[in-house]
Amino acid sequence: METLKEKNKDAKKTTAMKVSGAEAIIHCLLAEGVDILYGYPGGAIMPVYDELYKFQDKLTHILTRHEQGATHAAQGFARVTGRVGVAMATSGPGATNLVTGLADAQIDSTPMVCITGQVTRHLLGSDAFQETDIIGISTPVTKWNYQITKAEEIPEILAKAFYIARSGRPGPVLVDITKNAQFDELDFSYEHCTGIRSYNPVPKPNTEAIDAAAKLINEAKKPMIVFGQGVILGQAEDELKELIEKSGIPAAWTILGLSALDSDHPLNVGMVGMHGNYAPNMLTNECDVLIAIGMRFDDRVTGNLDTYAKQAKVIHFEIDPAEINKNVTADVAVLGNSKETLGMILPKIKENKHEAWHNEFKKRYKIEFDAVIKDELHPTKEGMTMAEVINEINTASGHKAVIVSDVGQHQMIACRYSKFKQSKSNITSGGLGTMGFALPAAIGAKMGAMDREVVAIIGDGGYQMTIQELGTIFQNKTPVKIVVLNNEHLGMVRQWQELFFESRYASTVMSNPNFVKIAEGYDITAKKITDRKDLKATIAEMLASKDAYFLEVRVEKEDNVFPMIPSGASVSDIRLK
């Protein structure tokens, strides 16, 4: 996000000119550095689409096949670039179809601006054709929203929208614009928003808190770091690495913290949470100081709060004051941008090595390896495991691919077994758990990082929730690689049914269509493999392809994801089988 800010520094206030509201919207987007947006036209947004037609050399509009796809594509773009993703839709159903993407971006702190058309001002409240109260509907799932009813409001409100979406803890903003405001003329001039008096996006770090945190860290015998997406959003990857290396403290990531640190870093001890690694989950309840950085103690991370890290002093580095003491009480709260606060604490941290303590992690990794990982990566049974597929993709891509996963078993496996060398390489729906996220998010991710390999890992259930976006790939020739791990079940729900509902598989068995034919219908090279012996060669072929490629892998039908912290159990009650 810094880069965009930098870029915009030179963009002086443009001089006033008479334009329509619709044209003003385009100028605002251009002034904010937007060069691509995702959307779907319709009656109430047509004046803006008319301007998009005129400005297509400067601003690329990607027509998705559903508005939800537009939001997830914008999210994928935002997550891989760190810039604000933009989605556009018409009023009524166009607007309501954005809601899932907004909710997803809200809970996963993704910077996104959604622009919706609205019926003309004098029709507001008359139940006009395609009128819906999208402001009312989107309020709980947006960082901010606003309805523009006059053309002259457009520049100031859009400037605010982009500022709010990307500053502090990022999030989605929705701006609803009535049709009359798009048609009417205004004297256009643009000024970037640099502050709002009621909004303090980045709290100033408190040096006393920094000192207190440094003291706790320096005196700790068994300290442990858990870091989340705050490190990526704050661009604090280097500071995190330096902190870990200087202090010798083992560090675990949350699902959204993945890729902020090299997977193979010796002090990276894996993932915390429900299907995270055994060692960091177990040792959360044995450490003496728990250093949480840019994470929010989600229930999927903490399990039962009454038994979560009760023995430990908790230090919480966080940009959002509302997260402090929300789920876990912090002994020391360090508010501020993670890059700044970690930078401030670094000189106060004593060099250390916690070898004996680090060995406790290694010991438990060995336990997990023997009980779970070995069989997952090198199965002796006939059916393929999801993990061996992920592992092959990873190895063959040199751990450089952007992995976009959907939601469910394959997501947990992708997050457990993918290895990363570069930040912003793991894109998944963490907080909301939105099935159908991956395919459109992968489109946005690829468009945001054309020089990188983007592989979508999707289950057979989630794939069919947004499968229509194959049309977007077809039309734009977007070279994404799509891997469907087909177990003919809604795997994660089936797993819970097996474990907690006595194997009553209510509505989790799926009869699937011929996915290869469907992909071929969109002119996408497609293959299905059912035998392990074809895995290596097919993945090599997929990665070598310059175009989009669809690969269906038939995996074992009733595999379970382990380790697992049963819902409501303590992190140290993690099950290996």
User: Which residue in 9, 12, 18, 197 binds another protein (CB under 8 A)?
Assistant: 197
**Maximal C-alpha separation, the chain:** 72
User: Catalytic: 435?
Assistant: no
164 binds another protein (CB under 8 A): yes
Return the sign of the alpha-carbon dihedral for residues 366, 252, 429, 77: negative
Distance CA 30, CA 34 (A): 5
Closest by CA to 560, choosing from 506, 487, 502, is 487
Residue 13 C-beta: closest distance to another protein, Å: 20
Stretch that binds another protein, among 131-139, 449-457, 473-481, 519-527 (CB under 8 A): 131-139
CB of 153 to another protein, least distance (A): 12
Contact 30, 59 (CB under 8 A): yes
417 part of the interface to another protein, by CB under 8 A: no
The answer to whether residue 437 is catalytic is no
User: Which residue lies nearer to another protein by CB, 103 or 548?
Assistant: 103
Angle between helices 386-396 and 535-544 (to 10 degrees): 40
Least spacing, CB of residue 531 vs another protein, in Å: 49
User: Is 420 known to be catalytic?
Assistant: no
Q: Considering only residues 118, 147, 284, 570, which one is a binding residue for another protein as defined by CB under 8 A?
A: 147
Residues with Cβ within 8 Å of 451's Cβ and at least 6 positions away in sequence, in order, are none
Whole-angstrom Cα distance, residue 194 to residue 182?
25
In this complex, which beta carbon is closest to another protein, that of residue 326 or of residue 532? 326
3-state DSSP call for residue 76? helix
> Which segment (321-329, 344-352, 468-476, 534-542) binds another protein by CB under 8 A?
321-329
Give the strands of the sheet with 112-118, arranged side by side: 60-63, 36-39, 85-89, 112-118, 172-178, 144-148
Among 492, 528, 542, 550, which one carries the catalytic annotation? 492
Q: Specify whether 318 is catalytic.
A: no
Among the listed residues 13, 16, 129, 140, the single contact to another protein using CB under 8 A: 140
* Token pair listed for 63: 């027509």
User: CB-side exposure of 308: number of CA atoms within 13 Å?
Assistant: 22
Give the range of 99-107, 144-152, 477-485, 568-576 binding another protein by CB under 8 A: 144-152
Q: Is 179 annotated as catalytic?
A: yes
Catalytic residue among 160, 179, 222, 339: 179
Task: Report helix, strand or coil for 494.
Answer: helix
Q: What x/- string results for residues 270 through 309 when contact with another protein is judged by CB under 8 A? A: ----------------------------------------
Burial class (CB in 10 A: 0-12, 13-18, 19+), 328: buried
> Does 325 contact another protein by CB under 8 A?
yes
The footprint of another protein on this chain (CB under 8 A) covers a number of residues equal to 21
Q: Which is nearer to another protein, 61 or 143 (CB)?
A: 143
191 binds another protein (CB under 8 A): no
Considering only the stretches 43-51, 138-146, 393-401, 495-503, report the one whose residues sit in contact with another protein under the rule CB under 8 A: 138-146
For 370, the 3-state DSSP assignment is: helix
Select 69 or 431, whichever has its Cβ closest to another protein: 431
In this complex, which beta carbon is closest to another protein, that of residue 93 or of residue 140? Answer: 140
- Tell me how long the chain is: 577
Helix (H, G, I), strand (E, B) or coil at 300: helix
> Residue 330 CB, nearest distance to another protein (Å)?
13
Query: Rounded CA gap, 129 and 408, in Å?
Result: 38
In angstroms, rounded to a whole number, what is the distance separating the alpha carbons of residues 415 and 391?
Answer: 11
Q: How far apart are alpha carbons 152 and 103 in whole angstroms?
A: 29
Residues 6 or more apart from 140 whose CB is under 8 A from it? none
Stretch that binds another protein, among 106-114, 133-141, 208-216, 528-536 (CB under 8 A): 133-141
List 196, 499, 509, 576, residue binding another protein (CB under 8 A): 196
What is the distance in angstroms between the CA of the first residue and the CA of the last residue of the chain? 42
559 belongs to the binding site for another protein (CB under 8 A): no
Taking CB under 8 A as the rule, does residue 146 contact another protein? yes
Cis preceding-peptide flag for 563 (omega within 30 of 0): yes
| Residue number with CB closer to another protein (203 or 223) | 203
Q: Give me the residues that bind another protein (CB under 8 A), please.
A: 135-136, 139-140, 143-147, 164, 195-199, 320-322, 324-326
Instruction: List, by residue number, the catalytic residues.
Output: 67, 129-130, 179, 492
